[in-house]
């Protein structure tokens, strides 16, 4: 297999054939940029998700419970780590550049992580609804992803997200079977998080979406969104919660829930101007990043003098 | 204090230290100096909380109470602050990552020695917890040492670490301070020796590690009154830990 | 910081597998950090970390010629067909 492609048509034929691109392949620049932007956004979202959960971890109600929640958020940070490593190997930005862009408010991440978890119920709603939405998207990417290093780490990420969903469902069940105050708290969380979670999938895919054409995504946004709706609407109802969608109806012909028209304005506003809480979290993370700069500087100390500096952009390239 | 009460108080002091140390590590989630370190600190925090859970279970065993999660949480979160027996070092709110790292190193160096004291405990369950904990402690110390090896070699970082040591050092004496009930734990063979015996080896280890008598300064007596007095940092921390539990005292989460 | 490649082996049946990479300042830190980055759930029982700049990597087209050596892959189907034919016409 000669790993170079004379034209975009050749490259796309290779992808259509199920070919997997590796970090050291001479891929078309447009593909490199598109894959990089997609993985960088995924990495940012994992990290921002961890920062959203961070607010509540020290207050987790229960000792063993706290261990489980810590392990979950640790995984999210770990996913960020895996993704930043893979993204850096594409040679577009270094890991530090990606983090600094994020902390300077220059990069994108999923809409949901612009909001604040204001109660413990929100923490559970995120673990249950948002993680499930993320998992559905990731499974669809994994299924047919043409970028090899991304596909391989997605296997691990998806396995771990499976643990999180079960944790989220277990915690949600305790609330569903719990006191009136608990149930009320979770209903309010559901009212806050249902629509942002649903909008994580984004608006309907454009017909000429290059992410689909280049087999980075394998299914259209609206298909994934519908999969989530069909799974979670009946589940939430069976636990006695109200889905906050006044126009929702059961389509007896298609045997599907139709949530009604989706108001995309909040999503657009969030992506354009940042959300209600992201600037605070980013500022906090940025402050911590600069306050710990001395650690990173000291750890890099002497590497160059010892003639063994590696900045990661050498030939072995990627995972 | 009778022997069973003594053993209970001894185990509570151990458990409370582990609990609060684990709690303190959770504050670094997402904001450690680099992502790999974030993962390591989180694991260490989980280990310490795990030790606390196993030690609180032993207390429930002594009381003849089944070690369910709610029973465990009553012990961990539901006591009046006067009944806690943690030391001021683990209550202390650190000001930066240097203090957190220095505390992590000192605490885990002490902790490994403390587990050795109960590795042959007359409580078989405690001896078996000690075996598991000692394996985990080897990792905690290796982690802290690997960082310090490199950081103490870089001039600016060394200065920050030694400054942090100066801030944390006065709390070392209290770390090794026993509770009154420790005598009961020793007379029943639950513990082989007093935690007070660990003070000298710990001081020596600190001096060897940081190699700086300037930042260590003179020894400061503990203000804990046999671990019965809490520091100013404790009540806000406990309130924070209890916030959700207090929201609905009848709830199971 | 340097980049290290991380390899993990799970039980006696499998070879070491490349699982990812990380950044670390020293070999010791690379080992310590790799454990919690890649083996949190005991995904392996052996761990290697290798500095990326110590990996000797072949160029993409170095191995390719060996993809075209059919004489090294004896065709089992053809042998089986002849075996069947021989059984059906003994003698």
Quick: pLDDT tens for B53-92. Answer: 999 999 999 999 999 999 999 999 999 999 999 999 999 9
The predicted pLDDT at position B1 comes to 59
Interval B124-181: pLDDT, tens:
999 999 999 999 999 999 999 999 999 999 999 999 999 999 999 999 999 999 999 9
Domain count, chain A: 1
The residue among B34, B36, B45, B104 with the most chain C CBs within 10 A of its CB, best to mutate, is B36
Is residue B206 very low, low, confident or very high in pLDDT (cuts 50, 70, 90)? very high
In this predicted model, what pLDDT tens digit does every residue of C19-52 receive, in sequence order?
999 999 999 999 999 999 999 999 999 999 999 9
pLDDT for residue A1: 46
Task: Please check whether residue C40 touches B, CB under 8 A.
Answer: yes
Looking at residue A309, what is its pLDDT?
40
Chain B partners within 8 Å of A58 (Cβ): 23, 26-27, 240-241
Query: Contacts from C59-63 at CB under 8 Å and sequence distance 24+?
Result: C60/A3, C60/A24, C60/A25, C61/A2, C61/A3
Residues of chain A with pLDDT under 70: 1-2, 302-319
Q: Cα–Cα distances in Å, from B35 out to A82, A95, A113?
A: 10, 10, 19
Chain segment B10-38, per-residue pLDDT in tens: 999 999 999 999 999 999 999 999 999 99
State how far the Cα of A253 lies from the Cα of C12, in Å rounded to an integer.
55
Contacts of residue A12, Cβ cutoff 8 Å, sequence gap at least 6: A213, A214
- Specify if B100 maps to a domain: yes
Strands C2-9 and C46-51: antiparallel
Residues of the domain holding A28 = 15-296
Cβ proximity of B141 and B106 under 8 Å = no
The domain total for chain B is 1
Q: Which residues pair with C2 in a beta bridge?
A: C24
CA distance C19 to A117: 33
Q: Which domain holds residue B136?
A: 3-247
pLDDT higher for B125 or C76?
B125
Residue B252 inside a domain? The answer is no
Question: Measured between CA atoms, how close is B181 to chain C, in angstroms?
Answer: 37
CA angle A93, A99, A100 (to 5 degrees): 90
The CATH number for A141's domain is 1.20.1260.10
Decide if pLDDT at B213 tops 80: no
CB of B129 closer than 8 Å to CB of B211: no
The residue among B23, B197, B34 whose CA lies nearest residue B116 is B197
- The Cα of A27 is separated from the nearest Cα of chain C by a number of Å equal to 13
Nearest CA in chain C to A23: C60
In a domain, A3, yes or no: no
| A95:C52 CB<8 A | no
Cβ–Cβ contacts within 10 Å for residue A168, how many?
21
Return the pLDDT at A303.
53
CB distance from C21 to chain B under 8 Å? Answer: no
3-state secondary structure of A23: coil
| CB-based contact A77 B42, cutoff 8 Å | yes
Q: Is residue A302 part of a domain?
A: no
Closest in C2, C22, C29 to A308, CB measured: C2
pLDDT at A314: 41
- Mind listing the pLDDT tens digit for each residue in B100-133? 999 999 999 999 999 999 999 999 999 999 999 9
Written out in words, the top-level CATH class of the domain with range C2-88 is alpha beta
> CB-based contacts of A35: which residues, under 8 Å, 6+ apart?
A21, A27, A90, A147, A150, A214, A216
CB within 8 Å: A299 and C25: yes
Position A130 in a domain: yes
The distance of Cα B215 from the centroid of its chain, to the nearest Å, equals 22
Tell how many helices (H) and how many strands (E) occur in chain C: 2, 3
Partners of residue B33 in chain A, C-beta under 8 Å: 292, 295-296
Bridge partners of residue C9, in order along the sequence: C46
**pTM, full prediction:** 0.94
Task: Assess if residue A90 is contained within a domain.
Answer: yes
Write out the residues of chain C at the interface with chain A, using a CB-CB cutoff of 8 A.
1-3, 5, 18-23, 25, 29, 37, 40, 51-53, 55, 57, 60-61, 64, 67
**So what's the ipTM on this one?**
0.96
The residue among B240, B248, B241 whose CA lies nearest residue A186 is B248
Task: Identify the CATH number of the domain in which residue B195 sits.
Answer: 1.20.1260.10
The tokens for A73 are 């958020």
**C27 in reach of chain B (CB within 8 A):** no
Residue at B150 is within a domain: yes
- B149 contacts in chain C (CB < 8 Å): 26, 28
């Amino acid at each position: 297999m000669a790993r170079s492609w004379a034209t975009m048509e050749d490259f796309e034929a290779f992808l259509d054939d199920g070919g997997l691109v590796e970090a050291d392949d001479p891929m078309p620049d447009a593909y490199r940029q598109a894959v990089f932007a997609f993985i960088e956004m995924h990495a940012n979202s994992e990290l921002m998700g961890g920062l959203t959960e961070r607010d509540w971890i020290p207050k987790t109600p229960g000792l063993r419970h706290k261990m489980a929640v810590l392990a979950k958020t640790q995984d999210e940070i770990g996913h960020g780590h895996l993704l930043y490593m893979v993204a850096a190997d594409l040679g577009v930005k270094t890991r530090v550049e990606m983090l600094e862009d994020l902390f300077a408010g220059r990069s994108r991440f999923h809409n949901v992580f612009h909001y604040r978890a204001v109660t413990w119920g929100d923490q559970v709603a995120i673990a249950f609804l948002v993680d499930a939405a993320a998992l559905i998207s990731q499974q669809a990417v994994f299924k047919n992803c043409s970028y090899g290093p991304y596909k391989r780490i997605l296997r691990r990420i998806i396995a771990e997200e499976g643990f999180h969903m079960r944790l989220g469902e277990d915690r949600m069940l305790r609330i569903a079977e719990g006191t009136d105050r608990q149930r009320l708290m979770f209903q309010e969380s559901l009212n806050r998080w249902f629509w942002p979670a649903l909008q994580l999938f984004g608006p309907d895919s454009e017909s000429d979406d290059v992410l689909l054409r280049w087999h980075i995504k394998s299914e259209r946004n609206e298909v994934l969104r519908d999969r989530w709706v069909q799974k979670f609407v009946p589940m939430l109802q069976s636990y006695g919660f109200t889905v906050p969608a006044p126009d929702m109806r059961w389509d007896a012909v298609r045997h599907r829930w139709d949530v009604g028209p989706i108001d995309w304005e909040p999503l657009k506003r969030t992506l354009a101007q940042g959300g209600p809480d992201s600037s605070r979290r980013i500022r906090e993370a940025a402050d911590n990043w600069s306050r710990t700069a001395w650690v990173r500087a000291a750890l890099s100390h002497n590497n160059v003098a010892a003639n063994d500096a590696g900045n990661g952009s050498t030939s072995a390239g990627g995972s | 204090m009778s022997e069973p009460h003594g053993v209970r108080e001894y185990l509570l002091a151990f458990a409370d230290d582990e609990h609060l140390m684990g709690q303190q590590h959770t504050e670094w989630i997402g904001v450690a100096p680099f992502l790999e370190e974030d993962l390591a600190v989180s694991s260490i925090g989980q280990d310490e909380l795990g030790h606390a859970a196993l030690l609180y279970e032993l207390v429930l065993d002594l009381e003849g109470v089944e070690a369910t999660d709610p029973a465990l949480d009553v012990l961990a979160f539901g006591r009046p602050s006067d009944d806690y027996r943690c030391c001021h070092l683990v209550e202390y709110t650190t000001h930066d990552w240097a203090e957190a790292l220095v505390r992590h190193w000192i605490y885990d160096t002490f902790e490994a020695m403390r587990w050795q004291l109960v590795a042959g405990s007359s409580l078989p369950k405690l001896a078996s917890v000690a075996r598991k904990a000692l394996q985990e402690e080897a990792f905690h110390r290796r982690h802290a040492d690997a960082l310090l090896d490199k950081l103490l070699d870089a001039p600016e970082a060394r200065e920050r670490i030694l400054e942090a040591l100066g801030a944390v050092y006065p709390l070392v004496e209290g770390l090794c301070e026993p509770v009154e009930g420790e005598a009961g734990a020793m007379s029943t063979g639950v513990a082989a020796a007093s935690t007070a015996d660990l003070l000298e080896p710990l001081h020596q280890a600190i001096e060897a590690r940081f190699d700086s008598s300037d930042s260590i300064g003179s020894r400061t007596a503990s203000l804990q009154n046999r671990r019965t007095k809490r520091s100013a940092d404790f009540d806000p921390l406990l309130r924070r830990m209890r916030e959700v539990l207090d929201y609905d005292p009848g709830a199971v989460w | 910081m340097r980049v290290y490649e991380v390899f993990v082996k799970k039980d006696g049946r499998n070879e070491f597998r490349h699982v990812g990479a990380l950044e670390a300042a020293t070999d010791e830190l690379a080992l310590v950090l790799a454990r919690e980055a890649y083996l949190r759930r005991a995904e392996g029982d052996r761990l290697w970390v290798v500095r990326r700049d110590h990996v000797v990597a072949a160029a993409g087209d170095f191995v390719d010629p060996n993809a075209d050596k059919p004489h090294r892959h004896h065709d089992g189907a053809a042998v089986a067909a002849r075996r069947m034919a021989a059984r059906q016409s003994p003698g």
